[in-house]
A = this chain, B = another copy of it.
Amino acid sequence: VQRVRDLGEFGLIGRIARLTGRTTGAEVVLGIGDDAAILRLRAGEELVVTTDAAVEGVHFRLDQESARVAGRRAAAGCLSDLAAMGARPLGLLLAFGLPPSLPAATALGLVRGVVDESRRTAAPLVGGNVTRARDVSLTLTALGAVYRGSALRRDRGRAGDRLFVSGVLGRSALERARGRVRTIPEPRIEAGRRLARLPAAGACIDLSDGLASDLMQLCLASRVAARIEPASLPLPRGYAAACARRRLDPLRLALAGGEDYELLFSVRRGGPGAAELTRCLRLPVTRIGHLEAGRPRVLGLPARWRGWRHF
């Protein structure tokens, strides 16, 4: 088996550059191969930037899924943060940590997955870094652009806003509980950009830790309370039966399962409703509650539902 140490650092970087292909164009002035990448924004745009790490044994397991799927999911998780800001993707950087004994095919599989997602979202891989480490890890930085002042933010919620969520909740958590090869949530890039253009848009966050935890973050940033109607949560088809077979609490998975990568957002009172938002964002949107005055907290849920914690 060929190992990463057989490729060497520059050999591995060369293979990554070949997988990436040519990225330079109108917006990428300089891609992989220099001390840094150079990107160009359009007039009137601001830069949006976020970083996210996926670690083997914590965020993915190479004995349970292919390296390519794990790599694609790592990139999707980071790009989801751009979606939550309503940003247009500009590019990705990958800081790749790996032990020298890792099979080269695994290392390149992970990178292929990142490149797959990068192509799908028009966020070219423009730079990065490889380093020796015990953990296999992919730390992604996603760069995007918004027109000045038009970014979606967590702190823009107001009492009276209605709360909506895109897609369905709990699918990733159910797949994890079943130990199945997981489907890859698609970051809601286009929906986020469409939402950012709506004058009635309020606050927005992407669902990475689970609705209960992420909604609390939105409340803290916006200094409002939220009230949820648990019966209104959108669940996947066949979900209740699948949970029952496994004796899993369906509401708990939907509220605290995490990795849904849907958008949770508020819309001003008098703004569009779920049907109109579904047309406008081009994916299913469900109303799940509203924001109200008061100290930051999530009402309507038993206290035992808490988000997934990293530590």
Contacts and interface: CB of A to CB of B under 8 A. Distances in A.
A95 B95 contact: yes
A243 to B, nearest CB: 27
Contact of A49 (B7, B132, B143): B143
A29 interface: yes
Contacts of A38: 46-48, 85, 146, 151
A139 B51 contact: yes
A46 B53 contact: no
A143 B50 CA distance: 11
Chain A interface extent, by class = 35 or more
Given A5-B311, A9-B310, A84 B153 contact: no
A173 interface: no
A129 interface: yes
Contacts of A143: 47, 49
Interface in A252-311: 309-311
Contacts of A142: 36
Given A82-B36, A139-B139, A311 B8 contact: yes
Contacts of A84: 35-36
11 contacts: A4-B311, A8-B311, A9-B310, A35-B154, A38-B48, A38-B85, A51-B129, A93-B141, A131-B310, A134-B135, A139-B139
Highest count of chain B CB atoms <10 Å: which of A142, A221, A309: A309
What is the oligomeric copy number?
2
A184 interface: no
A51 B135 contact: no
B311 A9 contact: yes
A36 B52 CA distance: 10
A128 interface: yes
Contacts of A201: none
A190 interface: no
A36 B87 contact: yes
A144 B51 contact: no
A298 to B, nearest CB: 15
Contacts of A81: 35-36
B55 A36 contact: no
A120 interface: no
A146 B279 CA distance: 41
A213 B52 CA distance: 30
Nearest to A78: B129
Interface string A82-99: 101101000101110100
Given A97-B53, A151-B30, A85 B36 contact: yes
B131 A221 contact: no
A55 B311 contact: no
Nearest to A58: B132
A46 B51 contact: no
A224 to B, nearest CB: 16
A128 B91 CA distance: 17
Given A49-B49, A51-B141, 15 more contacts: A33-B154, A35-B81, A35-B84, A36-B82, A36-B84, A37-B49, A38-B47, A38-B48, A49-B91, A50-B127, A53-B95, A95-B95, A130-B310, A134-B134, A139-B139
